[in-house]
Amino acid sequence: MAVINTNVKALFSQMALGSSGRAQSIAMEQLSTGKRINSARDDAAGMAISTRMTQQIRSLNQAVRNAGDAISMIQTAEGATNEITDMLQRMRELAVQAANDTNSNEQRSYLDLEFQQLKKQIVQISDNTEWNGFSILNGSAGERVGERPVYKTVSVGQQSDVFIAPSRLITPKNGMDADYIKGFAVADVTITAADDTKFMSFSDGVHTYYVEHAATAGATITAMKDQINGVANANVTTNGYTASTDASGNLILTKTDASKTLPSFTLNTDNQAGQVYDLSALSPAAMDADVLKLDVLINSSTPFSVTSIPIDTAGSVSLADAMDDVITKFNADTDINAEYKAVAEQTGGVTTGIKILSIKGGRTDGFVQSAVAVKVGPVGLEAAVNDVRAPLVATPADVPEDNSAKVSDNVHTMDVQESFANQGTFLKSGKLSMTIDASVPSVTATFLTMDEKSYTMVGDVDVASGTVTFMSSAPENQSLITQNLTYVIKDNDSGSAVPRDLRSYKDPTTEIEVDVAGGIPALNDGDIVINGITIGKTSWDDDKLSPPNNAAGSAIAKAAAINRVTNLTGVHAVVNENVAIGTAMQGTAVVKGRVIINGVESPILTTSLNNPRKTREDAVRAINLIADKTGVMAVDTGLDAQGIKLVAKDGRNIEVEFSLDPINGPTGDDFAQRTGLRAGVHAGTYSLEAKVEQHVEIGTTNTGNLKNSGLTPADNKVNVSAVNTDARAVVKAGERDPTLPDYVQGPVPLKAGDLMINGVAIPGALPKNDRLTQPESHQFSTTSDLVSSAIAMANAINTQTASTGVTAVANPAVTNGTVAVIDNDPGKDGWHSLYINGIDVPVQFDSTQKPSERMRDMAIAINAKLGAHGVEASENINGGMTLKTLDGRNLSVWFDDGLSAKEFGLADKAGKPVAGVTAVASASVQSTDADTLYATVSLQSTKPIKVEPGVNGYSAESNFEKLGFQTGTFGGVVDEAVTKMSPPRTGRLNFQVGSNVNQYITIDLADFGKGGPITGDLTWDVDLDAPAPGAALGAPNVDGQQRSFISSKESATSVLARLDVVMEKVNATRATMGAVMNRLDHVINNLTNVSMNMSASRSQIEDADYAAASTELAKTQIMQQAATAVLAQANTSQQSVMKLLGG
């Protein structure tokens, strides 16, 4: 039987046809592309090798182009520097010509015209020479090299819950504050015997006054108070003060001249105190003249003369009688007796001399006259001898000590204060001026706003209680105050303030000016001294962005004041972003109200029940709807403990108020706790920048208040940012905070969860973190706590330095006494104990000492035990004592309350102990009553420092704010976009001249302009006006650079020397450019050679062999034809079987 099987021959022929077809396709591909390797399957290894070679070849070719571009760019720069060289050559010619004395200064000024123009052109070339659209000669091209300056210190932000408040400082015009009024309790001295003449004298340290009293035994000084006042008031113009007495018989001095100083008085009843002219040596027998004359020279003019009765040489009239006659006539002369009084100097009842008393004052030290200090001229007493006037010798008489009564200035000190009821009721800031007439009585008041708009206010006065009241309901007052305003003038008598009866002043008219300032303090003249330069005051128009009432205290205004003298200090202030923190959210009740941001009211905000996250979202949305008007954006912190923070990018003040329903609405505190917002005004911070090598020294004057600036004393000499915490509250004995746990009482430690720095949580402080404060510190003072010290806090922060990049340093704890007074009480003479951190420092009191002598001796005694208590002492510019803990440990100082802080130089202007100083009963080395002053901490880094609260947020459990920390990002490298203090810029250009990474050639192109290191010494003053012809060279600027001009011989000579230095720098730079261009030529040649050879190598690997490919193509074509024919035959070979089936 026939079998039909698979056509194997056809299948085989088909396979061979496919194989030859593939070979034919490869040959055709190689011939058509010219490549042996057209895909990875052609030659996997060859493909990898050739691809890598292609990368290198193309990179090398680009590197050649890079080198060519680099040469072109350097040629451009070198061409510009060639032009600069030509100009410098011309400038040198001009300087040489100007240095020649054949030219006058005026002619030199003509040469200087061209000189100044060439300077400007050098700067213009450096700024305008560009390649490919960017400058290449101003140091901005490429990567900046060299140390970058950082913000060296940052101010602290300032927060106030009061938007506008009357100042605690007033400026009376009628002598009404501590500097204008001084009171003395007149210690009565009783006259024990009656004499023919009796005088009481009193000295203010400059003048001595004499008052004649009744020659009656038992008379007292107090009884003669009217005479005292009359004599003192007779010379008001010279003294600058008036005298009066109050109902208690106290002597009251009131300043009339602000430039004068109110004195202390010494009173005595010695009738021998005066200017004595001893005439006992003159006898009639010794005198040829027949008269005795007494002359009074007034202002060196023609003297008033009193001539006695003739003296008979035969003795008919004695010299004593002549002197008595002179005295009588002298005192009867109306041109004289208003100023002087003559008194007989007697021995045994016989006149032996004449004593002259200046009854309106004028005797320095009580005896010697001073022509400078006296209202009228000196007194001259002459005897006419042989018609020649011979001055007689004045013999001062001593004042017996037992007849003097010293009146100390602290017996009755009148410190007129002011107090406002309902502070913060003002709607505007400015100056309130009041004129009170106690005789009517009436008050006239004018309010002048910061923008100099004047308003009249209407008020009522109660002169008996020293009270002025302004009613808010009065139409004139409604635009200025929201509540009734009461102003009380008070006396501070021995520490208890009592209302002042305005009728007790001699002048019934009292004029007072009160500063009504914003809650944020403005700068006053002398508050800051930077690098020895005093910074001026700020004003509201320094800041056009913040609401005007607090604008003078903003960071913008303070930075503007600092920047006005940048050319003198070398320091520039940059305003930071202002961040106003929120408050911890608590409570569940729904409340409703509006938020007023910088005077703009938000839409109504309703809190969500038990959903603080939703409440924050709604509040943020409402505040940001008005952000275009307020300049303030709200940010959701995402934490209930931190609430909502407000951010002003431009650093303007942020003022937050709540508009609530006064009847049915929540309280302000409730609204704040529900919304996470904080009411009040918040001023931002500013940073101080300087050149890398420039130090920044910060201090204040003896009348300034550095706290107003938000800065702390510092001398930053390194290029590191420093951010200081704000001052901590003095811890007083017995203080307890009921909102904190029991273990946190008074002293405030850093706890875990309080602080984060650069995103890293800071652990809590531990007692072992402070190894400098004495271990027994809790024993010598209950308020001095190791774990709460700045040292412990700094060391806790430093445990995370590796993660944060921030180092903490404890600043010194410093307290400054401003008053030092020696109590002239011999009963206090001897040794007394001053306890410093539990160490007994003996201090010797001597009532005859000067304050400066006691301060010197105290400093020596305290510093002798520096190793024990860690406190350095020094006398400060105010004459008081400064105590400083050099290592930042706590400071506790106390003394027995039988003494006063003033006697140790540790009192403020009001006589009260300064911070950290306490008067305690029965003082000993241990105290439970002493206060403690805690130091601040400085955070330092070369990178930005981000400070924020930890998980405790701003809750009652958090000590973040109590420790003086503030939220924000501070310091770091200066912002090139706004910096004024960048160092001379040098750009490093990297030319990629290879196919692989780091195959480059570099060149440093420095700034050729006014701020650069090449020509800067000549061109730095290009924007300043040229000095006048012949002007002196003057002092260098803060960088030690001199002005460059040639309009005087001195300046031309100085310029010559500096031109040589500058030209050497230019030549060196040009030489570097030439060397680099030559190097780049060699680079191009080498790269071209490498690229060529590598291309040949790649060709061997990937290019096709046309002879072999052509042969292969012909072969495969033949095989294709044969296979096709065979396949046809194979397909017909099976047809015989079909024939059998068909048959």
State the Cα–Cα distance between residues 806 and 614, nearest whole angstrom.
36
> In this structure, are 215 and 324 located in the same domain?
yes
- Do the Cβ atoms of 241 and 255 come closer than 8 Å? yes
- Do the Cβ atoms of 1017 and 1062 come closer than 8 Å? yes
Per the domain annotation, does 42 fall within a domain? no
Place of tokens 């039988």: 898
Position 31 scores a pLDDT of: 76
- Positive or negative: CA dihedral 631, 636, 637, 643: positive
State the Cα–Cα distance between residues 822 and 257, nearest whole angstrom.
26
Residue 916's Cβ-count burial label (10 Å; 0-12, 13-18, 19+) is buried
Q: Which helix (H) or strand (E) holds 720?
A: none
> In this structure, are 396 and 296 located in the same domain?
yes
> In this structure, are 141 and 231 located in the same domain?
no
> In this structure, are 783 and 877 located in the same domain?
no
- Positive or negative: CA dihedral 285, 288, 293, 299: negative
Name the residue among 738, 689, 719, 733 with its Cα closest to residue 982: 689
- Do the Cβ atoms of 1033 and 1049 come closer than 8 Å? no
- Do the Cβ atoms of 812 and 884 come closer than 8 Å? yes
Position 379 scores a pLDDT of: 29
> In this structure, are 237 and 357 located in the same domain?
yes
Determine how β-strand 275-278 pairs with β-strand 265-268.
unpaired
- Do the Cβ atoms of 186 and 154 come closer than 8 Å? no
Q: Which domain holds residue 1086?
A: 50-147+995-1100
How many other CB atoms are there within 10 angstroms of residue 816's CB atom?
18
Per the domain annotation, does 435 fall within a domain? yes
- Residue 244's beta-bridge partner residues? 252
Residue 789's Cβ-count burial label (10 Å; 0-12, 13-18, 19+) is buried
CATH of residue 742's domain is 3.30.70
What are the angstrom distances between the C-alpha of 480 and each of 429, 430, 446, 588? 9, 10, 11, 37
Place of tokens 């000549």: 1018
- Positive or negative: CA dihedral 14, 16, 18, 21: negative
Q: Look up residue 1077 and give its DSSP letter.
A: H
- Do the Cβ atoms of 1062 and 1016 come closer than 8 Å? no
State the Cα–Cα distance between residues 525 and 535, nearest whole angstrom.
6
Per the domain annotation, does 807 fall within a domain? yes
State the Cα–Cα distance between residues 272 and 367, nearest whole angstrom.
11
HSE-CB at 382 with a 13 A cutoff on CA atoms is 17
Residue 789 sits at φ, ψ, to 5 deg, of: -70, 160
Residue partners of 566: CB distance under 8 A and separation at least 6 = 572, 980
Where residue 590 falls (left for φ over 0; alpha for ψ -120 to 50; beta otherwise) is beta
Place of tokens 């490869």: 26
Q: Which helix (H) or strand (E) holds 468?
A: strand 467-470
Position 149 scores a pLDDT of: 78
Name the residue among 629, 579, 584 with its Cα closest to residue 602: 629
* End-to-end Cα, the chain, rounded Å: 14
Structure tokens at 341: 């009084």
Give strand ranges (E) for 221-308: 241-245, 251-255, 265-268, 275-278, 293-296, 304-307
Per the domain annotation, does 1062 fall within a domain? yes
Place of tokens 């996250």: 613
- Do the Cβ atoms of 265 and 245 come closer than 8 Å? no
Q: Which of 387, 407, 427 is the last residue of a domain?
A: 407
> In this structure, are 764 and 675 located in the same domain?
no
State the Cα–Cα distance between residues 27 and 68, nearest whole angstrom.
42
> In this structure, are 796 and 835 located in the same domain?
no
- Do the Cβ atoms of 565 and 957 come closer than 8 Å? no
Residue partners of 1059: CB distance under 8 A and separation at least 6 = 88, 91, 92, 95, 1018
Place of tokens 């046309």: 1106
Number of domains making up the chain: 6
Name the residue among 404, 290, 279, 289 with its Cα closest to residue 354: 279
> In this structure, are 70 and 86 located in the same domain?
yes
Q: What is the pTM assigned to this prediction?
A: 0.62
- Do the Cβ atoms of 804 and 757 come closer than 8 Å? yes
State the Cα–Cα distance between residues 521 and 69, nearest whole angstrom.
59
Per the domain annotation, does 692 fall within a domain? no
- Do the Cβ atoms of 626 and 639 come closer than 8 Å? no
Q: Which helix (H) or strand (E) holds 612?
A: helix 612-624
SS3 track for 407-421: ECCCCECCCCEEEEE
Name the residue among 676, 594, 609 with its Cα closest to residue 639: 676
- Do the Cβ atoms of 893 and 918 come closer than 8 Å? yes
Amino acid at 163: F
State the Cα–Cα distance between residues 466 and 368, nearest whole angstrom.
43
How many other CB atoms are there within 10 angstroms of residue 60's CB atom?
22
- Residue 388's beta-bridge partner residues? 385
State the Cα–Cα distance between residues 125 and 138, nearest whole angstrom.
9
Per the domain annotation, does 857 fall within a domain? yes
Per the domain annotation, does 248 fall within a domain? yes
Name the residue among 1141, 1098, 1130 with its Cα closest to residue 55: 1098
Structure tokens at 789: 């010290």
- Residue 634's beta-bridge partner residues? 646
State the Cα–Cα distance between residues 436 and 752, nearest whole angstrom.
57
> In this structure, are 945 and 1087 located in the same domain?
no
Place of tokens 């180092």: 807
Q: What is the signed CA dihedral for 606, 612, 616, 618, rounded to 10 degrees?
A: -40
Q: Where are the alpha helices (DSSP H) in 99-219?
A: 105-128
Structure tokens at 689: 């920048």
Q: Angle of helix 8-33 relative to helix 1106-1132, nearest 10 degrees?
A: 160
> In this structure, are 790 and 827 located in the same domain?
no
Structure tokens at 994: 């290879």
Provide the 3-class DSSP secondary structure of residue 1115: helix
Q: Which of 887, 920, 953 is the last residue of a domain?
A: 920
Q: Which residues of the chain have pLDDT under 50?
A: 1-2, 167-189, 191-198, 215, 248, 266-291, 293-317, 360-424, 492-497, 736, 738, 740, 742-744, 776-778
With residues binned 3-state (H G I as helix, E B as strand, rest as coil), the percentages for the chain, rounded to 5, are 30, 25, 45
Amino acid at 678: R
848-875 CB burial, b ≥16 within 10 A, e <16? ebebeebbeebbeebeebeeebbbbbeb
CATH of residue 102's domain is 1.20.1330.10
Position 587 scores a pLDDT of: 81
> In this structure, are 170 and 310 located in the same domain?
no
Residue 442 sits at φ, ψ, to 5 deg, of: -160, 165
Per the domain annotation, does 494 fall within a domain? yes
- Residue 281's beta-bridge partner residues? none
Position 321 scores a pLDDT of: 67
> In this structure, are 502 and 435 located in the same domain?
yes
State the Cα–Cα distance between residues 251 and 506, nearest whole angstrom.
12
Provide the 3-class DSSP secondary structure of residue 362: coil
- Residue 170's beta-bridge partner residues? 514
